[in-house]
Amino acid sequence: MLSCALDAKESQYIVITDILGAFLHVDMEGIVHMKLKGDFAEIFVNLHQSHTRTTYCIFERKADVVCAIKKALIGTLQAALLFWKLLSNKLQEWGFKIN
């Protein structure tokens, strides 16, 4: 509410938007591994059998897959920061100023 009051006092224009697939535009920094378990891991292996870098193990009829991810994944610690950096840099290139 305080932010809305300040924006109104300063005659600021506020826009809210949702960027579809926002995190798919951001590359992860460094190597980040993701572990898939159970049915999802089995589906992944069946769809991507040609991937040689994927580690696939079966323990007691449960599948685990460990893979490296290239794009930011919602829920990872880096994802929000990386997307914010990408978006703010792009907006500054277009002439917007940080206030």
pLDDT, residue 60, reads: 54
- Is position 98 within any domain? no
User: Among the ranges 21-25, 42-46, 87-91, which has the highest mean pLDDT value?
Assistant: 87-91
Contact (CB, 8 A) for 56 and 65: yes
- Tens-place pLDDT, residues 37-57: 888 877 877 777 665 455 555
Structural domain containing residue 39: 25-78
- Is position 67 within any domain? yes
What's this model's pTM, rounded to 2 decimal places? 0.56
- Tens-place pLDDT, residues 31-40: 888 888 888 8
> Is residue 83 pLDDT above 70, yes or no?
yes
Instruction: For the chain, give the percent of residues with pLDDT over 70.
Output: 85
Q: Can you read off the two tokens belonging to residue 78?
A: 């880096």
- Is position 94 within any domain? no
Q: What is the number of structural domains in the chain? A: 1
DSSP for 7-49 reads: HHHTT--------TTGGGG-EEEEEEEEEEEHHHHHHHHHH-T
CA distance 25 to 95: 21
